[in-house]
Amino acid sequence: MTKPLVAVLSGAGVSTDSGIPDYRGPNGLWRRDPEAEKLVTYEYYMGDPEIRRRSWQMRRAGGTLQAEPNAAHRALVALERSGVPVRVITQNVDGLHQLAGMPARKVLELHGTARRVVCTKCHARGPMEDVLARVEAGEDDPPCLECGGILKSATVMFGERLDPVVLGEAVAITKACQVFVAVGTSLQVQPAAGLAGVAAEHGARLVVVNAEPTPYDEIADEVVREPIGTALPALLRRLGDEGD
């Protein structure tokens, strides 16, 4: 029996057990500090050196690069290694799916990665830790070493477009999968949220695993409200067993 293709859309809730706060939850970053949204808004970031300085300090204090994968990340790797075809479409920028052992070619990072930096002028890329070391050494707003341009995290900021190639691949996988699991995402940020609807339209079994209600719960085949760290491993074990 052919094992079904499982597509997993992962949001911030998947990484909260790794100590990375979500954005829109009850204790989310945007609720605690509405001003923080400016630090990741392209227009403000490019136009205001003070915003950039604060952004670099936020990255330095954030701890994303020190975070370790949790049970949810590991459960996805276990499913993939069991022979089930899995593709992860993630809204997260922390790289924890790959760190847990998911092959990089099977992870689509819709919102980019916080582990790299990119120059907004010459588009040179490099490791985030190298630039954070420069901040640590006293550079407030470190420029690109290639051309002197403004550096930013290689993440998609508010006001920037998603990479059309990555989004196109995500849509293709969503249309092709037999099971679509949306986990730890509020399903409120488009176009990522719309993938749940696309999956259902194309006949996939839609499962939503999230602490709070989402706009797609009513069309889901299954809605799970349990904590992700225990609920996702149990769900994925069940999916793995179904394919046998």
pLDDT reported for residue 2: 73
| Cα separation, 51 vs 55, whole angstroms | 6
111 is catalytic: yes
Contacts of 98 (CB under 8 A, 6+ apart): 104, 107
**Maximum alpha-carbon separation in the chain:** 59
| Cα separation, 106 vs 225, whole angstroms | 26
Task: From residue 223, give the alpha-carbon distance in Å to each of 87, 208, 218.
Answer: 20, 5, 9
pLDDT reported for residue 190: 86
> What global pTM score does this model have?
0.91
| Cα separation, 227 vs 136, whole angstroms | 36
- Token code pair at residue 86: 């899995």
**Whether the Cβ atoms of residue 55 and residue 49 lie closer than 8 Å to each other:** no
Sketch the domain layout of the chain as residue ranges: 1-20+70-111+162-244, 23-62+113-155
| Cα separation, 153 vs 54, whole angstroms | 13
Residue of 97, 111, 123, 202 marked active site = 111
Per-residue pLDDT tens digits of the chain, which is 244 residues long = 578 899 999 999 999 999 887 655 545 555 556 677 888 899 999 999 999 999 999 888 877 888 999 999 999 999 999 999 999 999 999 999 999 999 999 999 999 999 999 999 999 999 999 999 999 999 999 999 999 999 999 999 989 999 999 999 999 999 999 999 999 999 998 889 999 999 999 999 999 999 899 999 999 999 999 999 999 999 999 988 875 5
pLDDT reported for residue 104: 96
| Cα separation, 3 vs 115, whole angstroms | 33
| Cα separation, 66 vs 64, whole angstroms | 5
Q: Could you tell me which CATH class the domain 23-62+113-155 is placed in? A: alpha beta
Q: Could you tell me which CATH class the domain 1-20+70-111+162-244 is placed in? A: alpha beta
Strand partners, 210: none
pLDDT reported for residue 126: 97
